[in-house]
Chains A and B, each alone.
Chain A
Amino acid sequence: MRGDILISGRGLCRYYRRGSETVRALDGVDIDVRGGEALGILGPSGSGKTTLINLLSALDAPTAGTLTIDGRRVDGLSENALVDIRRGTLGYVFQQFHLVPTLNVAENVALPLLFLGRKPDPAELARVLRSIGLAGRAGHLPRELSGGQMQRVAIGRALIIRPRVLIADEPTGNLDRETGDAIFELFLKAVREEGVALVLTTHNHLLAARCDRTVTLEDGRVKQETHGRPSPAPDALAPSAFKPT
């Protein structure tokens, strides 16, 4: 449901050992992610953005603090237990697309279903391909796509499981501004139309300003939290922010 707290972190710490030194990548961060909101995480390099997003996405476990994802405590869980948390709840998009080069667009999008033991529903797959504007390129291989199109495939791969939270780490980092804007709009569309929560890290303040809320990190701590422009209601949206390519 929109507004429900899906992810809640309290006093999140993540320390690393580097030789004899302990690096405090994250040091006592409190954060909530609510359904249907776009949360931007800002901060300079080394501020802890990626560390935070790894914790929020159950890819990593905190050294200290408590973390709850979709009502389940995550801190202290094993890797396989974290997989259970991630499956079907969280969708990921990364700066590196990491598409499987021998699978076509449709197969790349449907890949998570293989690991969930589900056969892709053709109608659902077609819907996702339409939503990312690649319905006409379902049979194309990644090498036949542009960078923006590849990132759209990665977004489709995240959306196919109908996640409750979409997590994106620097998703526009490898794209030019125009393509980056388009990709960002696609994320917002998912938030508005499908009610998913979006957690996104970026260096781009203009993009972050379009989120409902932004958290700025510095030296592993929350420096500032800003509430941005509220997302428009779903019925106020244009039919599609993207034209199929």
Chain B
Amino acid sequence: MTFGAFAWKNLTRRPVRTLLTAGGVALAVAVAVSLGGFNLGYRRAIAGSIEQLGFQVMVMAKGCPYEAATMMLKGGTGLLYLPEDAHAKIKTDPDIEAITPIFIGIAEKQGASISDAPSSGAFTILSGVDAASFAAMKPWLKFKAGQGYDGGRWFTPGSTDEVVMGFEAAEYEQRKVGDVFYASVTPSGKTDPVMHTFKVTGVLERSGSQDDGTVFLPLKTAQKVFGREGQLTIIGIKLREFNGIRMREFEGRWMGIPEVQVVSLEQVKGALVSLVGTAQTMVAAVAVIAIIVAVIGVINAILMSVYERIGEIGIMKAVGADRGQIFRLIWTETLLVCLAGAAAGCLLAVIAAGATDAALRHLLNIGVTRSLVRITPELLGGAVLGSAVLGLLAGVWPARRAAALHPVEAIRSNE
């Protein structure tokens, strides 16, 4: 028999207490791992979603940069518009590698043509784009192939009745190439919606971005449908060399255009990350409190276990155990409880990652498509290691108390 096996057997004598103590540790570890996973996943999801926009800089109407960022990521109402001639001016900038004008509008979904899936929502995002520059900005966009999807292509630039549907938009609407797509749009300045009929020329493969839920149509057509001729929502720009200096230089050249702001997607990323910073701090505080409570629970449980076994500890000392061995035994018990709790907590966090992601997605509706919780082996390893360190610290006091017991007094304690 080894010290480890002996310590484990000692823990099994009060299985409920051991389980509850390990459960407290498990809960704290699960919260800490989920929070760590959220920290990792959220940043990656933001970075991934912004990456999928395809450009580094946005030019848009002046307003809240947070709103602008989330609008780009998930669409939204209350859009602001900038004059189209800004595009003509800015595209002459020598630092620009690629530029694409985008018009975004919201259409009401229509009765029979709509999937009943609750996730389909009540609106469809219509995005008016210049097909050539937009596709060049996002080379990863591919047309879906297969029965009913073959022959997919971008609409012809001057067409007024052609659309390309994102993967999810087509799924929800149950549309294939050649099908009709209905959109009910209330033009600017009007109160009554107007029904428009389009032909689907292509369905895009899933990209994992906001493009999946978008219906694309020619820029001019979109502007006309929404009654906003000569207006854009954003201009997406990719610079030849993107760094802080170039960005500031570029911003300085174009910030003089009235009602227009130049926003770096790095700024957007920072803004979105800081947006949940406070919430993360609060959750971290909860995790710290949970860990403190768990550590106190471990100390209490092990102390109780020591007090219940004073006589036994006295006998162990009488038959040859020195202070160090008693300390080691109690320390090992504490470590085992914490490691068992850590393992259970990691398992819990991994199992619950999907639910945690859904809950966070519900709370933080910012339109990122990737998972908000990313639990990595390094994170789990860190949690187990951290639990072991806390276990060792928590075990010091009970182990010292046990080691310091005088054998005679300990043996006589029950008499």
Mark A residues whose CB is within 8 Å of B: 50, 54, 57, 59-60, 79-80, 83, 86-88, 91-92, 94-96, 98, 100-103, 107, 110-112, 114-116, 157-158, 161
Among A60, A101, A102, A158, which residue has its beta carbon within 8 angstroms of that of B319? Answer: A158
Q: How far is the CA of A107 from the CA of B408 in the complex (A)?
A: 23
Among A59, A83, A98, A107, which residue has its beta carbon within 8 angstroms of that of B1? Answer: A107
Residues in B305-352 with C-beta less than 8 Å from chain A: 311-312, 314-323, 325
Q: Quick one: given A83-B317, A111-B316, are A60 and B408 in contact (CB under 8 Å)?
A: yes
Residues in B with CB closer than 8 Å to A102 are 9-10, 12-13
Tell me if B415 counts as interface (CB < 8 A to partner A). Answer: yes
Residues in A with CB closer than 8 Å to B408 are 54, 59-60
Q: Are A114 and B312 in contact (CB under 8 A)?
A: no
Among A103, A110, A116, which residue has its beta carbon within 8 angstroms of that of B320? Answer: A116
Residues in B with CB closer than 8 Å to A100 are 9-10, 312
Q: Count of B residues near A, CB < 8 Å?
A: 28
Within the complex, the shortest CB–CB distance from B337 to chain A, in Å, comes to: 15
Residues in A with CB closer than 8 Å to B318 are 57, 59, 86, 92, 94
Tell me if B242 counts as interface (CB < 8 A to partner A). Answer: no
Q: Are A110 and B1 in contact (CB under 8 A)?
A: yes
Q: Quick one: given A96-B415, A107-B1, A114-B3, are A83 and B312 in contact (CB under 8 Å)?
A: no
Within the complex, the shortest CB–CB distance from B190 to chain A, in Å, comes to: 81
Q: Are B312 and A98 in contact (CB under 8 A)?
A: yes
Q: Are B320 and A115 in contact (CB under 8 A)?
A: yes
Tell me if B140 counts as interface (CB < 8 A to partner A). Answer: no
Residues in B with CB closer than 8 Å to A59 are 318, 407-408, 411
Q: 26 pairs across A/B with beta carbons < 8 Å?
A: A80-B323, A83-B321, A83-B322, A86-B320, A91-B319, A92-B319, A94-B315, A94-B318, A94-B411, A96-B311, A96-B411, A96-B414, A96-B415, A98-B312, A98-B315, A100-B9, A100-B312, A111-B1, A111-B316, A111-B319, A114-B6, A115-B321, A115-B325, A157-B319, A161-B319, A161-B320
Residues in A with CB closer than 8 Å to B314 are 98
Interface centre among B318, B322, B406, B414 (most CB of A within 10 A): B318
- Chain A: CB-nearest residue to B411: A94
Q: How far is the CA of A99 from the CA of B407 in the complex (A)?
A: 15
Residues in B with CB closer than 8 Å to A157 are 319
Mark B residues whose CB is within 8 Å of A: 1-3, 6, 9-10, 12-13, 311-312, 314-323, 325, 406-408, 411-412, 414-415
Within the complex, the shortest CB–CB distance from B309 to chain A, in Å, comes to: 8
Per DSSP, chain B at the interface is helix
Q: Are B320 and A112 in contact (CB under 8 A)?
A: yes
Within the complex, the shortest CB–CB distance from A121 to chain B, in Å, comes to: 14
Residues in B with CB closer than 8 Å to A94 are 315, 318, 411
Q: Are A115 and B1 in contact (CB under 8 A)?
A: no
Residues in B with CB closer than 8 Å to A114 are 1-3, 6
Known: A83-B317, A98-B315, A102-B12. 9 other contacts (CB 8 A): A57-B318, A60-B408, A86-B318, A91-B319, A92-B318, A94-B315, A95-B415, A114-B2, A116-B320
Q: How far is the CA of A113 from the CA of B155 in the complex (A)?
A: 85
Residues in B with CB closer than 8 Å to A98 are 311-312, 314-315, 411, 414
Q: How far is the CA of A98 from the CA of B317 in the complex (A)?
A: 12
Residues in A with CB closer than 8 Å to B321 are 83, 115
Q: How far is the CA of A228 from the CA of B209 in the complex (A)?
A: 98
Q: Quick one: given A86-B318, A98-B314, A110-B1, are A79 and B411 in contact (CB under 8 Å)?
A: no
Residues in B with CB closer than 8 Å to A103 are 1, 6, 9
Within the complex, the shortest CB–CB distance from A202 to chain B, in Å, comes to: 16
Residues in A with CB closer than 8 Å to B6 are 103, 114
Q: How far is the CA of A157 from the CA of B315 in the complex (A)?
A: 10
Q: How far is the CA of A20 from the CA of B6 in the complex (A)?
A: 43
- Chain A: CB-nearest residue to B321: A115
Residues in B with CB closer than 8 Å to A116 are 320
Within the complex, the shortest CB–CB distance from A62 to chain B, in Å, comes to: 13
- Chain B: CB-nearest residue to A157: B319
Within the complex, the shortest CB–CB distance from A15 to chain B, in Å, comes to: 15
Within the complex, the shortest CB–CB distance from B189 to chain A, in Å, comes to: 82
Q: How far is the CA of A101 from the CA of B12 in the complex (A)?
A: 10
- Chain B: CB-nearest residue to A90: B318
Q: Are B323 and A79 in contact (CB under 8 A)?
A: yes
Q: Are B311 and A112 in contact (CB under 8 A)?
A: no
- Chain B: CB-nearest residue to A86: B320
Residues in B with CB closer than 8 Å to A60 are 408
- Chain A: CB-nearest residue to B9: A102
Residues in A with CB closer than 8 Å to B312 are 98, 100
Interface centre among A59, A87, A112, A161 (most CB of B within 10 A): A59
Residues in A with CB closer than 8 Å to B414 are 96, 98
- Chain B: CB-nearest residue to A107: B1
Within the complex, the shortest CB–CB distance from A39 to chain B, in Å, comes to: 19
Q: How far is the CA of A116 from the CA of B316 in the complex (A)?
A: 11
Q: How far is the CA of A96 from the CA of B311 in the complex (A)?
A: 8
Q: Quick one: given A96-B415, A114-B3, are A101 and B320 in contact (CB under 8 Å)?
A: no
Interface centre among A57, A96, A101, A157 (most CB of B within 10 A): A96
Among B9, B320, B411, which residue has its beta carbon within 8 angstroms of that of A88? Answer: B320
